[in-house]
Structure 1
């Protein structure tokens, strides 16, 4: 089969398509004929060498397609089902065939496009988990950074569904600021503007947001902390800038801000709870309550171009591969 392999960390060009042996499902596993694979920023972080990971490996922790075969102990009735799956060991999705634990597959409703299912089942589950972890309450104001990203765009929608009274989407660039309203953001701010924190404060009557969820970290994350109201809650869920938010203990203590490791809380849930979040995300997608945006779809042999697009932060929504 064809697969993208990484033998050394580096720029997108280290992603190379090779012919490799077909994987064989072991006990409790399934083999998926991959039609669509998700490309996340986490893939970029690992490929660039910013997260310890053994090489060589095949990237890709999300795959969608049809189950071709099952291993011992897995239900034979799964064969032929159209599913999305979290890949075995969080690798292997950038390939013609991928392995997954049977318990980590989710049947795709007939009226949901496979591309949408791949874009929403994991990212949407994270959005559900983050909103619950930070405890968004009806009427509260919420600031979401990277609001045009795959998770951010779903997080905006989920915050509104949880009853947020005002959602502010912070994005990089005027073009993205013009789009983020499509996801339900009441206010869009361009975090490249020097006065964007002041814009957030004006939108909230000078107070700042009750809740902030930051995926960027670094200087932008630090400014997002400034934009959080005294007594508010600041949730961490990423560091796309390359560094986590530099937390100022004096500022946090003086202003009475609660810092929440929101992503860690979401990932610390039991397997059953995380599965329930993914199922809820798929159900919300079917109902039109969680609508993923597909920025672009690349063929497998253009995986490097897909990574370059994600890494450039020029994308809005999800980027996918088609083996």
Structure 2
């Protein structure tokens, strides 16, 4: 089968063996894939948790049809339209555990379905499970113009956030954040953004920050968070190391939580998928929660899709179809 593999000369389309499902695995005939920032790193040889490196079939997110069931797989049947996340997604066939699948709504095509699994699971876990957002509270999404950021703002609004702030350093994308739930859009590269947040929240700061930037904004986040507020560290696009104001962290008594899928057990990931199904699935079926698709590329043009992502001018998801 055809797959996008990182090899000695970088990432390229090549032929690999079709996988066989074992245990609770399901074999998926892939119809569309969503691109993610971690994929971009792996096309350059970087590891993402235990994934990555030479010989790796790349890709983390897809939609397709169930082609075959492992002997212990449950909850789906051959022919079901599904979407999910895992490894080796950029291929004609991929494997997934039966616990990290969603049945795709009948009113959703494969392109749309492929854009959702990582955004839904990452941000429901960050905003609701770890962020403990309550109705009437305020939230700031750092890096809000990414697919996961746009989903975070929508989930926050769905769950009753009274005031949602989104950040983007690109003026065009910043100007569109209100379409996806932002009451205020800020530029996190502007030194005055903390004052904007404090002014908008009556001097108190926000109840919750979901941070995809980290690095250079870490101490500003502390200053923009309410006393006894929460910061959920989801991404580190602005750097993995920085000076940290421990005194400000302590003075504001902030609950600072780091999250990643890279070190989660399979059972933990299954629980995250189950929480999405239980808590917000109706909003997905009704299309209340959805993401814009910036561009769609054919699988043969997947290199161009990654060049488009690296240019960093897109809003929403980049999708590749097979």
Q: TM-score, normalised by structure 1?
A: 0.88
- Give the unaligned 5+ runs of structure 1: none
Paired with 2:73 and 2:134, the residues of 1 have a C-alpha distance of 41
Paired with 2:222 and 2:75, the residues of 1 have a C-alpha distance of 51
Contact 1:295 1:318 in 2 (8 A): yes
Q: How does 1:63-74 map to 2 (within 5 A)?
A: 63-74=62-73
Q: How does 1:150-299 map to 2 (within 5 A)?
A: 150-243=147-240, 246-263=243-260, 270-279=268-277, 280-299=279-298
Contact 2:56 2:88 in 1 (8 A): yes
Paired with 2:180 and 2:35, the residues of 1 have a C-alpha distance of 20
Is it true that 1:21 corresponds to 2:17 in the alignment?
yes
Paired with 1:189 and 1:115, the residues of 2 have a C-alpha distance of 30
Q: CA RMSD in A?
A: 2.6
Paired with 1:59 and 1:235, the residues of 2 have a C-alpha distance of 27
Count, aligned residues: 316
Contact 1:67 1:79 in 2 (8 A): yes
Paired with 1:262 and 1:67, the residues of 2 have a C-alpha distance of 30
Shift in Å at residue 50 of structure 1? 5.6
Q: Which digits, 9 at most, give the CA deviation of each residue in 1:101-158, with x for residues without a partner?
A: 2333322121122222222233112221112211112222111111111111010011
Partner of 1:117: 113
Contact 1:233 1:257 in 2 (8 A): yes
Partner of 2:31: 35
Paired with 1:151 and 1:118, the residues of 2 have a C-alpha distance of 13
Contact 1:149 1:316 in 2 (8 A): yes
Is it true that 1:307 corresponds to 2:306 in the alignment?
yes
Aligned counterpart in structure 2 of residue 126 of structure 1, from 122, 129, 140: 122
Shift in Å at residue 296 of structure 1? 1.5
The answer to which structure, 1 or 2, has the higher relative contact order (CA under 8 A, 6+ apart) is 1
**Secondary structure of the equivalent of 1:159?**
helix
Q: TM-score, normalised by structure 2?
A: 0.88
CA separation of 1:300 and 1:187: change in aligned 2, threshold 3 A: same
Paired with 1:21 and 1:50, the residues of 2 have a C-alpha distance of 22
- Give the unaligned 5+ runs of structure 2: none
Partner of 1:96: 92
Shift in Å at residue 227 of structure 1? 2.0
CA separation of 1:271 and 1:146: change in aligned 2, threshold 3 A: closer
Paired with 2:177 and 2:64, the residues of 1 have a C-alpha distance of 30
Contact 1:41 1:240 in 2 (8 A): no
CA separation of 1:254 and 1:74: change in aligned 2, threshold 3 A: closer
Q: Which digits, 9 at most, give the CA deviation of each residue in 1:265-321, with x for residues without a partner?
A: 995773542121342454321123312121222222332332233334322111211
Shift in Å at residue 263 of structure 1? 4.6
CA separation of 1:198 and 1:75: change in aligned 2, threshold 3 A: closer
Paired with 1:164 and 1:205, the residues of 2 have a C-alpha distance of 16
Q: Which digits, 9 at most, give the CA deviation of each residue in 1:58-107, with x for residues without a partner?
A: 11122211122233344697111111133xxx321111111222333322
Partner of 1:5: 5
Paired with 2:285 and 2:158, the residues of 1 have a C-alpha distance of 15
